[in-house]
Chains A and B, each alone.
Chain A
Amino acid sequence: MSTSTPKENLVMEHLVSLTYSEELTPILERYVDALIDGRIVGHKCPSCGRVYVPGKGYCPICVVPTTDADEVEVGDHGTLTGFTIITPVAYYGQTETEPFVYASVLLDGSDSNLGGQEVVGVPHDKLRSGMRLRAVWKPKSERSAEGVSNRGWGSVSSVIDAFEPSGEPDKDRAEYEEHIF
């Protein structure tokens, strides 16, 4: 075993940047066209009836294919099923400076949450699961496909600015507890 004085660790900084480019899948292309039109669509499993927003092209529970023929429209009101308040730390690429909400919203008629949604019009300490929300749409002329990608769990930010309280009474936990994400 060496008894020499410990030396400083060698640290090598290496910032990696990789470029990926891809087209939206045909299902997401349809999804974003509908969003720009002001409609939120998903796929309804022909076997179990669960609705996924956006559609996946299959039901992950039943493993049966879904197609455009299984498309259904869901509401733009929904229920806050879960949330976290993130205090941003400075790292490369971080643009947030103030604490912000990351919420999962179960739209009416959907069985899957939109993840990572912003909630406005309510103080952070008043947020609660079961709270009813509605989408704050961008004006039609400002909507784009830009924020929708083949990855991610609810990228609608280029069409819907955020969600805000709708004023409807809270949902009972039993009504959404199978859908917490």
Chain B
Amino acid sequence: MAATDIAVVGYAQTPSTRRARESEVQLLVPIVTEALQRAGLDRREVGFTCAGSCDYLTGGPFAFVSNLEAAGAWPPISESHVEMDGAWAMYEAWVRLQHGDIDTALVFGSGKSSPSKPEEMWAQQLDPYYLAPLGVDPASLAGIQARALLDAGKATERDFANVVVRSRRNAKDNPNAQVAGDFSVDELLAEPYVRAPLRKHDLPPISDGAVAVVLARGDRARALCKRPAWIRGLDHRIEVHQPGMRDLTTSTSTALAARKAGYDGGPLDVIELSSTFSPQELILRDALGVDADANVNPSGGPLAANPVMATGLVRIVEVARRIVEGSASRGLAHATGGQVLQHNLVCLMEGD
């Protein structure tokens, strides 16, 4: 049994919307069912279940426990939860599968940002050492990162706008996207700043949504899926939490995770990045060393749909789906957590 013998064999996601009327678990029930059906797997056969979500988003204590009802937790199942993006739930399931005693796993990520005011809620996240509120929201930190990028001469505001134009254009082909359409760089640059030098379109939309993935190992994967998306490498690396203690214009943890995941710089048919703010796509491209004409975020990426806690796992699904459907043979997905690209995960996938 090798770590490279585990594959994505089923997936489903909700459309991303500004405000879903359904509760988080009501968003999850149909897509968990759909992902299992796509894999042709009965839920009672699932060896391990892992979910990623954040109760602070909806303000519902133990919302993550209700979410488990989407997996059918009676009779009792073997399961776990991470207060992280669903991509890290998948990482846990991938590690669990390597124990060798089970051959299938169910993973999901979900988030409803609509009930809260994200700029208020995220600022209350606690510093890991002093347990004091951070006091600063992600968009403000991304503004500082963008400024650092401009000051270093590594990018221009026009480069940021170009990322947005391409993301929104790509999103036109993604039925799950929330923001899509044709825009010109000049019209975007005429917009006012919301966190200088970032404009509203440089920020992700506020989204509600959920995503589910089914993993399987070895022969079971081949039996469940005609063309499994094999996970050739999966790794995550974290940098110091204090943004002032690192160079915000680079992402050494992404570069390291990619190397550890086995990315050798070779050709990729599809790359999906959790570039939640437009300048981050430039930083991540640079960290990964991908070609200028690489197929980055064909789904539109997080600038088109950002269901926090699902966004990273959606990247994995967007790559896996293209491999399963046969339009791609090799792809890379990236997920991020923490402040301004503090913690990064890279998943390298291939078809047979």
Contact = CB atoms under 8 A, between A and B. Distances in A.
B23 A18 contact: no
A151 interface: yes
Given A25-B26, A150-B23, A60 B59 contact: no
A119 B72 CA distance: 33
B29 A58 contact: yes
A26 interface: yes
Interface residues of A, number: 21
B115 interface: yes
Interface in A52-79: 56-58, 60-63, 65
Name the interface size band of chain B. 20 to 34
B116 A18 contact: yes
Contact of B72 (A19, A56, A63, A151): A63
B74 A18 contact: no
Given A21-B115, A60-B73, A63-B29, A14 B133 contact: yes
Interface in B82-113: none
Contact of B115 (A12, A20, A60): A20
Contacts of B22: 25-26, 57
B176 interface: no
Given A23-B21, A151-B63, A61 B121 contact: no
Interface string B55-73: 0101111010000011111
Given A12-B132, A21-B115, A25-B22, A60 B30 contact: no
A90 interface: no
Interface centre among B26, B30, B32, B114 (most CB of A within 10 A): B26
A1 interface: no
A58 B43 CA distance: 15
A19 B70 contact: no
Nearest to A26: B21
Contacts of B58: 20, 22, 150-151
A122 interface: no
Contact of A61 (B29, B30, B72): B72
A16 B117 CA distance: 14
Nearest to A21: B115
A63 B70 CA distance: 7
A62 B133 CA distance: 41
B33 interface: yes
A22 B124 contact: no
B126 to A, nearest CB: 10
B26 A20 contact: no
B124 A16 contact: yes
Contacts of B56: 18
B71 to A, nearest CB: 8
Given A20-B115, A63-B43, A150-B23, A57 B29 contact: yes
B119 to A, nearest CB: 11
Given A18-B121, A22-B114, A150 B72 contact: no
B66 to A, nearest CB: 9
Contact of A25 (B21, B59, B116, B124): B21
B120 interface: yes
Contact of B69 (A14, A58, A65): A58
Nearest to B73: A60
B37 to A, nearest CB: 11
Contacts of A19: 116-117, 120
Contacts of B25: 56, 58
A56 B33 CA distance: 16
A25 B116 CA distance: 16
A14 B32 CA distance: 39
A20 B19 CA distance: 13
Contacts of A12: 132
B253 to A, nearest CB: 30
A60 B59 CA distance: 22
Contacts of B72: 60-63
Contact of A18 (B21, B59, B73): B59
A76 to B, nearest CB: 25
Given A19-B117, A57-B23, A151-B60, 5 more contacts: A18-B59, A56-B69, A61-B72, A63-B29, A150-B60
Smallest CB-CB A-B distances: 8 pairs: A60-B69, A20-B59, A63-B72, A22-B115, A151-B60, A20-B115, A58-B29, A57-B26
